[in-house]
């Protein structure tokens, strides 16, 4: 499957790159935990949760379309669909928007899984329509109390802790516990047009600033990929990083150092592009109908 992935990118002229696994900065995303490391002579560093920031620095330097197949690390992720170390396929296509990149993701996934299972054409569903159909709420209009009530109706417990969960945290819980498991049955489903508050590193949709050009791919109820029409505005990206850090402080989470080199690259000029990260081990798990991600790995964390 990895050989077929490399062949796919070679056919499309996408260059394979390598970037550092260790960085002096870490992601601010509330839902990702970076694994720290102490390096003699350097100090605190972090194992990458994805190669995104470094690859964008290459794009800003003029490299062009590129991809990477690499090991990534996420603290606290362990379970049927999670392992703290796993393989990610990440790539960027110049001049692509989210819609064009979804077509590229489908072509890659169908090619990798073709020897193992036949898939019907993938479907596309907006985030708003999915939550209305599966959870009975409008994510662009409802408040936190309505989201909490929807979770209760579906038998999902709210996160324990002294700090009440925010609106986006409740939306994420609805997607992971109620909506996502219903998607991608017998074929892939792209969930797209996320609320602007869920934009992460995506740009807002032209003509509809309430939503972002972000998508996720689901197969058999499992989230496989997360993609964006990439944000290129350094000032807006800094504002989002600072908002993440403020929310981390409110929730009592660690405040990692912001990647100033990424922000400098954005200020220098990131070309119009779209990028996506695909969890390879999860793809193997779903493609071969395995019971857990551990069955898709030679060395899951329990025996590493």
Q: Where are the alpha helices (DSSP H) in 73-198?
A: 98-113, 127-135, 144-153, 167-174
CA distance 202 to 196: 9
**Cα–Cα distances in Å, from 49 out to 21, 152, 199?**
9, 32, 18
pLDDT per residue as tens digits for the range 18-52: 999 999 999 999 889 999 999 999 999 999 999 99
pLDDT given at position 46: 96
Tell me if 168 is assigned to some domain: no
On whether residue 41 sits in a domain, the answer given is yes
Amino acid 162: pLDDT: 65
Instruction: Give Rg (Cα) of the chain.
Output: 19
Instruction: Return contacts of 132-141, CB within 8 angstroms, 24+ apart.
Output: 134/178, 134/179, 134/182, 135/174, 135/178, 135/179, 137/174, 139/171, 139/195, 140/195, 140/210, 140/211
pLDDT over 90 (residue 304): no
Please list, residue by residue across 14-31, b when 16 or more beta carbons sit within 10 angstroms of its beta carbon and e when fewer do.
beebebebebebbbbbbe
At 289, is the pLDDT very low, low, confident or very high (cuts 50, 70, 90)? very high
Structural domain contains residue 134:
no
Percent of the chain with pLDDT over 70: 100
Structural domain includes residue 211: yes
Q: Apex CA 217: angle with CA 216 and CA 219, to 5°?
A: 145
Residue 155 forms part of a structural domain = no
Q: Per the domain annotation, does 151 fall within a domain?
A: no
Domain that holds residue 206: 2-122+187-303
Beta bridge partners of 87: 71
Q: Is the dihedral of CA 169, 171, 173, 175 positive or negative?
A: negative
CB atoms within 10 A of CB 199: 19
Given a cut of 80, is residue 163 above it in pLDDT?
Answer: no
- Please say if the pLDDT value at position 190 is more than 70: yes
Using CA atoms, how far apart are residues 40 and 20, in angstroms rounded to an integer? 17
Provide the percentage of residues in the chain whose pLDDT is more than 90: 90
Tell me how far CA of residue 109 lies from CA of 78, 192, 218, in angstroms: 24, 17, 11
Which CATH number is 32's domain given? 3.30.930.10
Nearest by Cα to 27 from 200, 195, 198, 267: 200
Contact in structure between 22 and 48 (CB atoms under 8 Å): yes
Domain for residue 243, yes or no? yes
Using the predicted structure, report yes or no on whether residue 186 has a pLDDT greater than 90. no
pLDDT tens-digit readout, 44-93:
999 999 999 999 999 999 999 999 999 999 998 899 999 999 999 999 99
User: Is 249 a member of any domain?
Assistant: yes
Mean pLDDT lowest among 157-171, 179-193, 220-234, 282-296: 157-171
- Dist CA 259 CA 291 (whole Å): 37
Query: How many C-beta atoms surround the C-beta of residue 115 within 10 A?
Result: 9
Q: How confident is the model over 121-159, as pLDDT tens digits? A: 999 999 999 999 999 999 999 999 999 999 999 999 987
Whether 87 and 69 have beta carbons less than 8 Å apart is answered as yes
Query: Which of 173, 128, 127 is closest to 150 using CA atoms?
Result: 173
Q: What is the pLDDT of residue 160?
A: 78
| Mean pLDDT for the chain overall | 95
Count of structural domains within the chain: 1
CA separation, residue 189 to residues 113, 118, 164, 174, 217 (Å): 15, 15, 32, 17, 6
What is the arithmetic mean of pLDDT over 103-114?
97
Nearest to 106 by CA among 181, 189, 176: 189
């Amino acid at each position: 499957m990895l050989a077929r992935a490399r062949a796919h990118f070679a056919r499309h002229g996408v260059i394979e790159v390598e970037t550092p696994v260790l960085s002096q900065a870490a992601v601010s995303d509330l839902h990702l935990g970076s694994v720290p490391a102490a390096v003699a002579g350097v100090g605190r560093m972090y194992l990458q949760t994805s190669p995104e920031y470094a690859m964008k620095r290459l794009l800003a330097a003029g490299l062009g379309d590129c991809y990477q197949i690499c090991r990534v690390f996420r603290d606290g992720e362990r379970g049927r669909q999670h392992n703290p170390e796993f393989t990610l396929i990440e790539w960027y296509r110049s001049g692509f928007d989210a819609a064009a990149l979804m077509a590229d993701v489908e072509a890659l996934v169908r090619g990798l899984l073709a020897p193992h299972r036949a898939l019907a054409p993938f479907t596309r569903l907006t985030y708003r329509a999915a939550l209305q159909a599966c959870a009975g709420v409008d994510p662009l209009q409802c408040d936190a109390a309505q989201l909490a009530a929807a979770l209760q109706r579906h038998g999902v417990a709210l996160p324990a802790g002294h700090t009440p969960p925010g609106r986006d945290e409740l939306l994420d819980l609805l997607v992971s516990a109620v909506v996502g498991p219903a998607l991608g049955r017998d074929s892939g489903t792209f969930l797209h047009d996320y609320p602007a508050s869920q934009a992460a590193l995506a740009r807002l949709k032209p003509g509809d600033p309430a939503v972002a050009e972000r998508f996720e791919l689901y197969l058999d109820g499992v989230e496989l990929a997360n993609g964006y029409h990439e944000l290129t505005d350094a000032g807006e990206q800094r504002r989002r990083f600072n908002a993440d850090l403020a929310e981390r402080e409110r929730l009592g989470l660690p405040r990692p150092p912001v990647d100033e080199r990424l922000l400098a690259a954005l200020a220098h000029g990131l070309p119009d592009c779209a990028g996506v990260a695909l969890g390879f081990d999860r793809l193997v798990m779903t493609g071969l109908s395995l019971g857990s991600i551990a069955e898709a790995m030679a060395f899951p964390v329990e025996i590493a």
